[in-house]
A and B are shown apart, each in its own frame.
Chain A
Amino acid sequence: MSAERTDARGALRAAERTGAELRLEGLTVGYGGAPVLRGVDVRVPAGTIVALLGANGAGKTTLLRTVSGLLPAASGRIVFDGVDLAGVSVEDRARAGLAQVPEGRSVVAELTVDENLRLGGLQRFRGRRLTAAVDGIYGMFEPLARRRRAAGHQLSGGERQMLALGRAIIAEPRVLLLDEPSLGLAPRVVAQIMAVLRGLRDERGLTVLLAEQNVTSALAVADHGVVLNLGEVVADRPAEDLRTDSALRHAYLGF
């Protein structure tokens, strides 16, 4: 291991658990053929919510998976709290406070609600503090508290999304990546999830990168909106502009 990498890991560990800035610089990602992302620049300032918008296939999921380290970048940099993440493993990124809720809710079907939450928290807390952290999540999502002994595969779609989100935030991440959390959920549950994100930003200063096709819900909580089209950033505006300027919305988001 190079000295540079050791320093990077040390810097990541020592950091405080408030929101951190995430910056993507000229990120290009390809699965072998034509690149899926081409020179993408995105800045998510600490303590803000940035909505990542775009149609199916625009590259949103690829972008998130590259940031969390599941996919390698062909070129470009991912900078987390001032530290270049090149060469840092998926596990170390997660331990440093980069949490991802993957698409499809990703609840471990064979584990109970309680076990899923403990799994999310145990890299950061042990013993009583872990139990307290789990109880904190139950306080945030009442429906989960009633199902703590249920296995993941017995949960409804809304319960799964709450569990996936609860499991990602239990370890007090610094940056949260969310891939389509509203997919297939009732509007009431979507509103609840967006309210939790807003609360985390306002109270803890959490940084959120929120990939969504549900543009209205995403822009309602976001500070900023980035629109991807065919792997390139075509708009990067304050959420307010995208919400209110119908010409902009029509040009970039098709409605």
Chain B
Amino acid sequence: MDRLLFLLATGLARGAIFALFALALVLIWRAARVVNFAQGAMAVVAVYVAFAVTGLTGSYWIGLASALVAGGLMGLVVERGVMRFASHASPLSGVIIAIGVVMVLQSALGIAFGSNTRPMEAPFSESPIVIGGVPVLSPYDLFVLILAVGLMGVLALLFTRTSLGLQLRASAFAPEVSRLLGVRVTRMVTAGWVLASAVGALAALLLVPTELGLNPHSADMLFVSAFTVAVVGGLDSPPGALIGGLAVGVLISLVTGYLGATVAPIAVLVLLVAVLLVRPGGLFATTEARTA
């Protein structure tokens, strides 16, 4: 029972990171109808920036801020530089361009920093707090949960309560109509990429201290898990990303705890296949399918 509680709590904290990263995938999918396969590599570039800045300044928080900025800039550069020119005739062209971006970024990181893993310190203790003799979750897990949930709340407000959010949603749902109403849709697509890439960078930054450390491939597994989350939740659904993320986090935590770490990826893939068989649009997909 104690163990179950611990696994659930750490699973939720891990799941919150998956949810954030999946949310970034969802935001770009909605804005540009592209699954951003480069998001892991782009996020890792931002984490390297944070690593360097923290090393220079000694402050985790300045590093965190610079990861957000670097992530946003990556989104800007990748969208304006290459993804904008992807043909919309075939969904595959965006994917192939994204994979090209991954190769370029990972090689560049390897050349610049080497491929060895650098340990990254968490800003808070990672040993669990013990409540009534039961280890629950670490201060860092708590920090991750609060930050992730808080950020998602802010994003929800941005999208539902502001003019920018309304224009972002309208541009995603109905680009032509939005243009006829004077909305600068291409700018909104760029804004979606910037926002999503900053969120993805933060997710990767939060994850790395709980793993072995930082190397050019640090976010590869994060991408796979978050992609599963996005598909399970429905690529169009931000609430799906949140709930799917927490569910996959808990699933991985429980399977790892009871059956071993090697079984966890299999469990994730089983979940993915099961959802695709039962509800191909994702659990939270809206009923009207959009083909346009």
Contact = CB atoms under 8 A, between A and B. Distances in A.
Contacts, number: 62
Interface in A102-119: 102, 106, 108-111, 115, 118-119
A178 interface: no
Contacts of B169: 110-111, 115
B180 interface: yes
A90 interface: yes
B182 A106 contact: no
Contacts of B170: 108, 111, 115, 119
Contacts of B184: 91
B180 A94 contact: yes
A119 B288 contact: no
Interface stretch (A79-87, A120-128, A196-204, A243-251): A120-128
A153 B183 CA distance: 21
Contacts of B178: 108, 119
A172 B182 CA distance: 13
B180 A108 contact: no
A68 interface: yes
Contacts of A118: 163, 166
Given A115-B166, A118-B166, A153-B288, A123 B182 contact: yes
Given A106-B174, A110-B173, A111-B173, A122 B180 contact: no
A70 B177 CA distance: 10
Contacts of A48: none
- Chain B CB within 10 A, most for which of A108, A119, A122, A153: A119
Interface string A60-84: 0000000010100000000000000
Contacts of B286: 110
Interface residues of B, number: 19
A109 B167 contact: no
> What is the interface residue range for chain A against chain B?
20 to 34
A122 B163 contact: yes
A66 B286 CA distance: 34
Given A90-B180, A91-B179, A122-B166, A109 B173 contact: yes
A108 B185 contact: no
A43 interface: no
B166 A94 contact: no
Interface string A7-28: 0000000000000000000000
A126 B163 contact: yes
Contacts of A92: 182
Contacts of A91: 179, 182-185
Interface in B275-292: 286, 288
Contacts of B181: 94, 119-120, 123, 167, 171
A95 interface: yes
Contacts of A70: 176, 179-180
A233 B174 CA distance: 32
Nearest to A68: B180
B174 A108 contact: yes
A90 to B, nearest CB: 4
Interface of B: 163, 166-167, 169-170, 173-174, 176-185, 286, 288
Query: Which 4 residue pairs are nearest across A and B when measured between Cβ atoms?
Result: A94-B182, A123-B182, A95-B182, A90-B179
